[in-house]
């Protein structure tokens, strides 16, 4: 039943919406999307898994919806993936073809996406437990892991947000986020299609583009909001909106306050993960408190657990490891039963890896990550281990430690501490870029005599900075 509603257009069917999605200078009506996706679904029916180079274009919209119609699992691939990442994503996912465009060097077949094709035949509803997406996300070490998100989880996650934010068909959502993560893709594309609201995708999420779009609901990562807060005219232009929503990383309190002062709107903060979708949020009709991410959304339960396994009191100050459960959680990591098992407790809670406090009213504050090896830069999650492995492949690097250091614009910026003969830092940065996506490049390389290590020989990253 949820699945018939995960057909993202089911709720909104009925009247056409002539400007359902504006993206890359094109406008797609609801019937453009349904007809185009229907034609694609007919061609790919029976496939198991396909890859989509997730550029913000009409073809990507039609490809994603076509797969949802046909019940074919989609792997959205970052368009700037480096060769090493791309090879891993394609091999690990077992994608059978590209829909639309293929990156250079891939020998998988390509199924063209014809945005103007039309087919109005219905499709049998795939099972709610079937996997809609494999989303690749970084862990602390090794190559990115494929997060399996079912249709049922996505439907539950989106419905919970629609209720928390009073998100309806009267809204116009505006954002310019990438279409290969939960934030931009699941919330930012499937959300409007399911709720029946309009979507304006701005391409790059610049302050000017947000100001110009005239939406009622805006999504951004903190870097986007911080840049808007610095551009007062653009910020003021958002004052007619209903909700400004921030997530993917902590929204600095000064940015919250500046945005509130300039727009008259206190931002709604919400917290989530690729593995869990959005589990915590402040409400359209509830308190918004700077530095806090609010209450569990519908269906979610949370708890805080100390290192010794005892439960931490909800007094607003005591901190513990945040664990969550709810209907929007993932089904595990593809091909990684070990990693999947490690991320769940025996009694069925997902271990987020984030440290939090909860007050006596149930409001949550995210204090940070338990591990220094997961970096958040511009809202992107980057595993230090993956960048270190790439750098160790360069002859100029004998030892390396990659950390995220505080950054006013990006939240954290990637800095590599390198032991080795002085090499041109730009050469090392370019080396990472030749293998991995651009946002995984270190912003800075610092050459050091040695790395601080404890008695066991483990690098003590907290001493770097």
Applying CB under 6 A, does 382 fall inside the site for ligand AMP? no
| Residues in 427-446 at the binding interface with ligand MCA, rule: CB under 6 A | 429, 438-439, 441-443
Contact letters for ligand MCA, residues 191-210 (x by CB under 6 A): --------------x-----
Applying CB under 6 A, does 145 fall inside the site for ligand MCA? no
Neighbours of 5 (CB within 10 A): 17
Of 36 and 157, nearer to ligand MCA (C-beta) is 157
Q: How far is the CB of 330 from ligand MCA (least distance, A)?
A: 11
Alpha carbons within 13 angstroms on the beta-carbon side of residue 45 total: 14
Tell me 115's DSSP state. Answer: T
Window contacting ligand MCA (CB under 6 A); options: 16-24, 175-183, 290-298, 456-464 = 175-183
Q: How far apart are the first and last CA of the chain?
A: 52
Produce one character per residue of 414-428: b if its CB has 16 or more CB atoms within 10 Å, e if not: bbbbbebeebebeeb
CA–CA gap between residue 366 and residue 328 (Å, rounded): 20
- Among residues 66, 178, 272, 378, which is the contact residue for ligand AMP, using CB under 6 A? 272
CA–CA gap between residue 50 and residue 63 (Å, rounded): 10
Of 128 and 252, nearer to ligand AMP (C-beta) is 252
In angstroms, what is the C-alpha Rg of the chain? 22
* CA-based nearest residue to 167, from 218, 220, 235, 224: 218
Sort strands 320-325 and 350-358 into parallel, antiparallel or unpaired. Answer: antiparallel
Of 290 and 396, nearer to ligand AMP (C-beta) is 290
CA–CA gap between residue 89 and residue 51 (Å, rounded): 9
Partner whose binding site includes residue 269, from ligand MCA, ligand AMP, none (CB under 5 to 8 Å by kind):
ligand AMP
* CA-based nearest residue to 350, from 80, 147, 81, 118: 147
Neighbours of 176 (CB within 10 A): 22
Applying CB under 6 A, does 223 fall inside the site for ligand AMP? no
Applying CB under 6 A, does 252 fall inside the site for ligand MCA? no
* CA-based nearest residue to 187, from 452, 177, 319, 462: 177
| Residues in 109-138 at the binding interface with ligand AMP, rule: CB under 6 A | 137
| Residues in 4-63 at the binding interface with ligand AMP, rule: CB under 6 A | none
Tell me 119's DSSP state. Answer: -
Of 98 and 136, nearer to ligand MCA (C-beta) is 136
Residue written as tokens 């989530």?
Answer: 272
Applying CB under 6 A, does 352 fall inside the site for ligand AMP? yes
Of 17 and 161, nearer to ligand MCA (C-beta) is 161
- Among residues 30, 88, 151, 183, which is the contact residue for ligand MCA, using CB under 6 A? 183
Q: How far is the CB of 380 from ligand AMP (least distance, A)?
A: 7
CA–CA gap between residue 64 and residue 41 (Å, rounded): 10
- Among residues 31, 248, 372, 412, which is the contact residue for ligand AMP, using CB under 6 A? 248
Of 31 and 131, nearer to ligand AMP (C-beta) is 131
- Among residues 366, 375, 402, 429, which is the contact residue for ligand AMP, using CB under 6 A? 366
Distances (CA, A) of 57 to 65, 66, 100, 383: 13, 14, 11, 28
Q: Confirm if 121 and 42 have CB atoms less than 8 A apart.
A: yes
Of 313 and 465, nearer to ligand MCA (C-beta) is 465
Tokens read off for 163: 């209720």
- Among residues 52, 161, 182, 244, which is the contact residue for ligand MCA, using CB under 6 A? 182
Window contacting ligand MCA (CB under 6 A); options: 28-36, 119-127, 177-185, 398-406 = 177-185
Contact letters for ligand AMP, residues 153-182 (x by CB under 6 A): -----------------------------x
Applying CB under 6 A, does 249 fall inside the site for ligand AMP? yes
Q: Confirm if 463 and 422 have CB atoms less than 8 A apart.
A: no
**Which residues fall within 8 angstroms of residue 339, CB to CB, at 6 or more apart?**
139, 145, 333
Applying CB under 6 A, does 85 fall inside the site for ligand AMP? no
Q: How far is the CB of 280 from ligand AMP (least distance, A)?
A: 8
Strands (E) in 24-82, as ranges, are: 26-28, 49-53, 73-77
Q: How far is the CB of 89 from ligand AMP (least distance, A)?
A: 15
Applying CB under 6 A, does 292 fall inside the site for ligand MCA? no
Distances (CA, A) of 350 to 102, 154, 251, 332: 35, 17, 24, 10
Applying CB under 6 A, does 268 fall inside the site for ligand MCA? no
Q: Which residues bind ligand MCA (CB under 6 A)?
A: 177-178, 181-184, 205, 221, 223-224, 247-248, 272-274, 378-380, 429, 438-439, 441-443
**Chain residues in the site for ligand AMP (CB under 6 A):** 137, 182, 247-250, 269-274, 293, 352-354, 366, 369, 376, 381
């Amino acid at each position: 039943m949820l699945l018939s509603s995960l057909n993202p257009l089911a709720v909104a069917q009925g009247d056409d919406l002539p400007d359902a999605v504006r993206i890359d200078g094109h406008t797609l009506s609801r019937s453009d999307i349904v007809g185009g996706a229907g034609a694609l679904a007919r061609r790919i029916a029976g496939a198991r898994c396909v890859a989509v180079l997730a550029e913000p274009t009409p073809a990507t919209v039609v490809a994603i919806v076509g797969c949802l119609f046909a019940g074919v699992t989609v792997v959205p691939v970052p368009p700037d993936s480096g060769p090493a990442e791309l090879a891993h994503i394609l091999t690990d996912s077992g994608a059978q073809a590209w829909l639309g465009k293929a990156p250079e060097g891939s020998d998988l077949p390509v199924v063209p996406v014809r945005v103007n094709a039309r087919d109005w035949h219905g499709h049998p509803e795939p099972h709610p437990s079937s996997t809609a997406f494999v989303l690749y996300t970084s862990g602390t070490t090794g190559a990115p892991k494929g997060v399996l998100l079912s249709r049922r989880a996505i439907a539950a996650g989106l419905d919970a947000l629609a209720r928390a934010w009073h998100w309806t068909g009267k809204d116009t959502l505006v954002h310019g986020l990438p279409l290969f993560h939960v934030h931009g893709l699941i919330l930012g594309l499937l959300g409007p299609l399911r709720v029946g609201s309009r979507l304006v995708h701005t391409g790059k999420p610049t302050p000017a583009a947000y100001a110009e779009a005239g939406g009622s609901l805006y999504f951004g990562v903190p870097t986007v909001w911080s840049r808007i807060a610095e551009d007062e005219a653009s910020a003021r232009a958002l004052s007619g909106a209903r909700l400004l929503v921030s997530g993917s990383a902590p929204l600095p309190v000064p940015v919250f306050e500046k945005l509130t002062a300039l727009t008259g709107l206190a931002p709604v903060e919400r917290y989530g993960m690729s593995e869990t979708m959005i589990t915590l949020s402040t409400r359209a009709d509830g308190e918004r408190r700077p530095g806090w991410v609010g209450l569990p959304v519908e269906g979610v339960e949370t708890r805080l657990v100390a290192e010794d396994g005892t439960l931490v009191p909800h007094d607003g100050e005591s901190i513990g490891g945040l664990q969550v459960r709810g209907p929007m959680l993932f089904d595990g990591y593809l091909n990684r039963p070990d990693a999947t098992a490690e991320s769940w407790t025996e009694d069925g809670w997902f271990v987020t890896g984030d440290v939090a406090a909860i007050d006596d009213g149930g409001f949550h504050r995210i204090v940070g990550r338990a591990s220094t090896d997961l970096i958040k830069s511009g809202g992107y999650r980057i595993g230090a281990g993956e960048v270190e492995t790439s750098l160790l492949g360069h002859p100029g690097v004998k030892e390396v430690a990659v950390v995220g250091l505080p950054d006013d614009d990006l939240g954290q910026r990637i800095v590599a501490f390198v032991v080795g003969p002085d090499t041109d830092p730009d050469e090392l940065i370019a080396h990472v870029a030749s293998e991995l996506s651009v946002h995984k490049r270190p912003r800075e390389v610092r050459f050091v005599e040695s790395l601080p290590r404890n008695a066991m020989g483990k690098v003590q990253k907290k001493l770097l900075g």
